[in-house]
Amino acid sequence: MTAKTDGEKRHFQRIFYDAEASLLNDEFTLPCRIVDISLKGCLLNLEKPWPGSATTPCMLILNLSDEASIRMKLTFAHGSGTLAGFKCDDIDIDSITNLRRLVELNLGDSALLERELSALGGW
């Protein structure tokens, strides 16, 4: 399922994917739930409001199975209460492959996926 309103200028489809994940850095580990995820970031539901600053780097770990996971380096972008949006600063090749597959399965259209990957890479 994807969401995009007419007023949004979003280049990346958000995939609504309700799953448990972990957000961590040197100071804390926070269990969280994925609200949505895209090739550019994610919206998370945390157990408590975001304890870091806008510049606090962190790592999202989303285990898809015993063999597959998505690991994204993030920075805080916005928040309200326990909902917090994060921008993806870096993602490894295995994670982008797993995220690509997740996006592809949810979009159901490989042309949309290719457009998003082109926008991500600036191609």
Whichever domain contains 91, its CATH number is 2.40.10.220
* CB-CB contact of 23 with 29 (8 Å): yes
Q: How many domains are contained in the chain?
A: 1
pTM of the shown model: 0.75
Q: Is residue 122 part of a domain?
A: no
Per-residue pLDDT of the chain (123 residues; tens, 9 = 90+): 334 444 444 445 556 567 899 999 888 899 999 998 888 899 999 998 888 888 889 999 999 888 999 999 999 999 999 999 999 999 999 998 898 888 777 766 566 556 655 655 554
Rg of the chain (C-alpha set): 14
* CB-CB contact of 74 with 40 (8 Å): no
Within 8 A by CB and 6+ apart from 8, the residues are none
Which domain does 50 fall in, by range? 2-117
DSSP secondary structure string, 41-100? EEEEEESSS--S-TT-EEEEEEESSSS-EEEEEEEEEEEETTEEEEEEEEE-HHHHHHHH
